[in-house]
Structure 1
Amino acid sequence: MTSTYRSLPDSYVSNKGRSTSCVTLAVVLGCLTVLGILLAIAVLKRPPAPKDHETLPGDAGGDNFTTDQCSMTLVESIPQHMKYKANVTLGIPLEEVWKDLISMATDQVEVSSFYWTLTGEDINVNSSSDIPGRDILEQLETLPSRNVSVRVVISVPTVRTNSTDLEILKQKGVQVRAVDFGRLAKGVLHSKFWIVDRKHVFIGSPNMDWRALTQVKELGVVIYNCSSLATDLHKIFQSYWVMGKSNSSLPQPWPPEYDTAINKDHPLLVKADNVSSRLYLAGSPPSFCPQSRTQDLEAILSIISESQHFVDVAVMEYFPTTRFEKPQRYWPIIDDAIRTAAFERRVKIRMLISCGRDSDPAMLPFLQSLASMDSPQQHINIQIKLYIVPVGNQSDIPYSRVNHNKYMVTDKEAYIGTSNWSGDYFLTTAGVGLVISQRAPHPVWKTEALQSQLRAVFDRDWHSEFAVHLDDLGDNPDCSLSRR
């Protein structure tokens, strides 16, 4: 997996799902200590196709070997007017990746998004920061005229907006289906991904929203020339598509065509430019997963339990409860896994949780409870910070200026998902997670492994001026958890 670097800023949106917002790796080379020094790499560029691609020998029975020329790198969106110090790691800008995927398409584009709002009028806002969203919408409109089939799935229920995006796209020949997840699974379709020509894939936190490009901090991964993975993700897309028919009902079990040979026990194995990678896709909710598909919750718990040295988590919301069912229930499954790793194996835990104007203050006691376990004398290390995006003069744009990331990185694996960390997202809501485990010689690990890139991004944010320890929160108008 190769990736070179360049220097540039970025941007994105907060997604209010249901009635609130919608939302792994080896040790980084060397012992880069904090001391306020941020990791010195520049903005990632789209990786070229690997030159020395080869399949790996069958050293882990049951792995899936591919001859795909898979290359991957991180994608980010950094909100406008938000500046990091010089020489820090930044992913490829989201706008650049989406436009790249559109221009590359020759046969088919499939997009899953909770909702669509690519212009300011969609949310009754007049802002020049919606220009990148308008550009994306205009480029998507041209695809059918280029004989590129476009299929889109969205959720029912969804966010209430005045969006006309999909009507415009349908007039141009785009096929759109709304999946009634409320009826089928008592949740929403919260997956956010693209599949292009069954070959290229994007998975991450952003919805099809102009704020995702300029007003909300987002993170994802783009994988080029990886037909095996794209074909597997298409099976998930197709499950949404068929359930988007009127009067559809969930099959029990799912037909064989939805089965997968790629999962936690049998990952996809590729090697490129001295980096070997094991990949698999996890899904939720359980009712949408055939037995052969690793469930999203299972993947997260497995990653935490297999960690030996550190677990770094960045998510928009963290609740050891359900959030949307009535009555709410205590749901400590992930919380217990984190506490167990810290207490029994002395794994160092760092959690970066978002706080914005619309964050639920009810989250604070749960974070304080976790942080209270931190005890250097007992070698228990759990540190929690809130990541606060400055609002500045952007206060007129609703549900923006927030860190929408949903990822985890450990000394063993990397995970990039589409779900916030609370019960409903794994029980009733559609989400997708990509799990990556990589090996590489030390000289190439730092610059070429996606796991290393992800750890560098986490370290950048953890040591930035935007990350605040719970005890140092004080009164911050841009963070609702401080107003208590």
Structure 2
Amino acid sequence: LPLAWKPWWRLRQFKGGAQRLLPCSSPCPVSPQYSRCILVAFVLATLSLAVVLLNLFCFPVFGSNRLGEGKAAPSLDNTCSDPCSIVLVESIPQDMTYDDNSTANPSIFQAWMDLIGDARSSLDIVAFYWTLTNEDTHTQDPSAGQGEQILEELLKLPMSGVSVRIAVNPPSAKQPLSDLQALEQSGESVAPSTGVSSTRIPDQEQPVLCAGRDGTSPLLWLQVKELGAVVYNCSCLAQDLGKMFEAYWVLGVPDASIPSPWPANFSTTFNSETPLELKLNGTDAGVYLSSAPPALCADGRTKDLQALLSVIDGARKFVYVAVMSYIPTMEFSHPKRYWPAIDDHLRKVAYERRVHVRLLIGCWKHSKPSMFPFLRSLAAMQDNRTHYSLEVRLFVVPANETQAKIPFARVNHNKYMVTDKLAYIGTSNWSGDYFVHTAGSALVVNQTGPEAGGAPTLREQLQAVFERDWDSRYSRDVSSLGQGRDLCGVH
């Protein structure tokens, strides 16, 4: 890898209890063999998660305590007999309301509380940032109570014999680690990274997974609009997710470097070509996890950009996208570069196959001015004479004077896509850096028929969420906004 990669991926790990600092010599250690189940928040990031994926079955993930040692992971049959189920979860910002008969989902806060409460032996978390109290964000907002409650419950886990590991970006003036220091003192293990990670993972030993959000904030559950998914009773998927967490964890040691290639025990057989075949809510489904950047993809792992583009290309009727930021550039590179990978595919399916494309983009005070010309350019393809159908709307979370002072809040932070074929729940904004340089992941689900009992599939549920937001009072056409983000109605 280029030398420029190294600062992005060096981490150090802090151990609570008897071993407070886990040193790293070459090669870097992997956790000893353990039985765990996994919860990953993608938020993600969407979760990033977003998203959060968590499994509540116990299973051995690795049989070695050093990177590359021990036996390679056995070749797995791409079928799973577990009775897997999946539930969409959301956080709806305070003072946002929908019609009484509109689509509604369980809250992310309650999902976290349930997952933490169900932990019996282990919990692993990957987060872009970690600020769970008003003190962290320099606010005095009562809506931070839920974040503080989460922190309180996490602090209890080591006393109950639950092993907790947390991988997170390094501290800064804007993102202190006071919460994590408190967790470390309680006996939990923390690995601050020097690079941006948009994936988040709490890991547990029973059956649930979650995806959708990339950070942990005290105001997440009441001031930021998020969407994720929780998967229950699915050890097959959780074990695959465990490999992704271990990849983050082995990089969380001093002077760690990314192996090339990754050892065989990080590889997978579940990908876009051969998804994991299982019953999801009683319906046949194909599922896989993608990852970014490419350097973190072990053998067999689908790269996140490849997964996203294949979902777009597979659509026959429509592509609906909800993402916080859409900029077809390498916006953090110097000099900046045009990056049309996603943009080209959206235009292509709209032009060549007359697929109906809709983009619902978050608009808030931190939106980049450069985003709006690109969005208007896409919207310009909409034409009644040629019947190209490409619509762009902005989603504005309203804020009163007090709410507007809360840092990095009052925004539609979703990062998902739904087509007439597939559901994609990820953690990355749609610009080049997030797929080339930033850690992230996505859950891709293909359900081939209606759920047992006639209930809607995950894809249909995700479509209903998108259409609810698209038709809501918080959505506005990008062409009606004049010239700047100030017209998004933010303070």
TM-score with structure 2 setting the length:
0.82
Q: 1:159 to 1:481 in 2, by over 3 A?
A: farther
Are 2:247 and 1:239 equivalent residues in the alignment? Answer: yes
State the match for 2:293 in structure 1. Answer: 285
Are 2:333 and 1:325 equivalent residues in the alignment? Answer: yes
State the AA in 2 paired with 1:339: R
1:347-358 alignment runs, 5 A limit: 347-358=355-366
Equivalent-residue separation in structure 2 for 1:442 and 1:112 (angstroms): 32
State the AA in 2 paired with 1:374: Q
Are 2:465 and 1:451 equivalent residues in the alignment? Answer: no
User: Does the aligned pair in 2 maintain the 1:349–1:383 contact within 8 Å?
Assistant: yes
1:234-383 alignment runs, 5 A limit: 234-272=242-280, 274-383=282-391
Are 2:161 and 1:147 equivalent residues in the alignment? Answer: yes
- Structure 1 position 441, deviation (Å): 3.6
Q: 1:141 to 1:270 in 2, by over 3 A?
A: same
Deviations 1:70-91 (A, max 9, x none): 1101010000011111111122
Equivalent-residue separation in structure 2 for 1:205 and 1:438 (angstroms): 23
Equivalent-residue separation in structure 1 for 2:133 and 2:155 (angstroms): 14
Are 2:432 and 1:423 equivalent residues in the alignment? Answer: yes
Aligned length in residues: 423
- Select 2:419's aligned residue among 405, 410, 421: 410
State the match for 1:104 in structure 2. Answer: 118
State the match for 1:53 in structure 2. Answer: none
Deviations 1:210-236 (A, max 9, x none): 121110100110001111111111111
State the match for 1:460 in structure 2. Answer: 468
Q: 1:193 to 1:269 in 2, by over 3 A?
A: same
- Structure 1 position 143, deviation (Å): 0.7
State the match for 1:115 in structure 2. Answer: 129
State the match for 1:74 in structure 2. Answer: 88
User: Does the aligned pair in 2 maintain the 1:475–1:482 contact within 8 Å?
Assistant: no
User: Does the aligned pair in 2 maintain the 1:199–1:227 contact within 8 Å?
Assistant: yes
Equivalent-residue separation in structure 1 for 2:372 and 2:281 (angstroms): 44
- Structure 1 position 442, deviation (Å): 7.7
Deviations 1:139-184 (A, max 9, x none): 0111111111100001247672344110110011110001233xxx
Equivalent-residue separation in structure 2 for 1:68 and 1:434 (angstroms): 18
State the AA in 1 paired with 2:287: L
State the match for 1:184 in structure 2. Answer: none
Are 2:449 and 1:440 equivalent residues in the alignment? Answer: yes
- Structure 1 position 280, deviation (Å): 0.2
Equivalent-residue separation in structure 1 for 2:361 and 2:308 (angstroms): 17
- Select 1:88's aligned residue among 102, 107, 114: 102
- Structure 1 position 347, deviation (Å): 0.2
- Structure 1 position 197, deviation (Å): 1.1
Matched residue SS, 1:420: coil
Q: 1:400 to 1:273 in 2, by over 3 A?
A: closer
State the match for 1:165 in structure 2. Answer: 179
Q: 1:258 to 1:273 in 2, by over 3 A?
A: closer
1:181-220 alignment runs, 5 A limit: 181=195, 188-197=196-205, 199-220=207-228
Equivalent-residue separation in structure 1 for 2:158 and 2:422 (angstroms): 39
Q: 1:397 to 1:22 in 2, by over 3 A?
A: farther
State the AA in 2 paired with 1:376: N
State the AA in 2 paired with 1:453: Q
Q: 1:236 to 1:86 in 2, by over 3 A?
A: same
State the match for 1:27 in structure 2. Answer: none
Q: 1:376 to 1:334 in 2, by over 3 A?
A: same
Aligned residues with identical type, % of pairs: 44
User: Does the aligned pair in 2 maintain the 1:438–1:449 contact within 8 Å?
Assistant: yes
- Structure 1 position 266, deviation (Å): 1.2
Equivalent-residue separation in structure 2 for 1:171 and 1:238 (angstroms): 23
Matched residue SS, 1:361: coil
- Structure 1 position 63, deviation (Å): 7.2
- Structure 1 position 192, deviation (Å): 2.1
Matched residue SS, 2:272: coil
Matched residue SS, 2:95: coil
Equivalent-residue separation in structure 1 for 2:77 and 2:267 (angstroms): 16
User: Does the aligned pair in 2 maintain the 1:89–1:456 contact within 8 Å?
Assistant: yes
State the match for 1:223 in structure 2. Answer: 231
State the match for 2:144 in structure 1. Answer: 130
State the AA in 2 paired with 1:119: T
- Structure 1 position 275, deviation (Å): 1.5
User: Does the aligned pair in 2 maintain the 1:22–1:420 contact within 8 Å?
Assistant: no
User: Does the aligned pair in 2 maintain the 1:347–1:381 contact within 8 Å?
Assistant: yes
Contiguous gaps of at least 5 residues in structure 2 = 1-42, 51-56, 58-75
State the AA in 1 paired with 2:417: M
Q: 1:303 to 1:90 in 2, by over 3 A?
A: same
State the AA in 2 paired with 1:277: A
Equivalent-residue separation in structure 2 for 1:405 and 1:190 (angstroms): 13
Matched residue SS, 1:117: coil
Runs of 4+ in 1 over 4 A off after TM superposition: 442-445, 474-483
Q: 1:14 to 1:296 in 2, by over 3 A?
A: closer
- Select 2:407's aligned residue among 398, 402, 407: 398
User: Does the aligned pair in 2 maintain the 1:110–1:194 contact within 8 Å?
Assistant: yes
Contiguous gaps of at least 5 residues in structure 1 = 1-12, 16-20, 24-48, 50-61, 182-187
Equivalent-residue separation in structure 1 for 2:409 and 2:152 (angstroms): 23
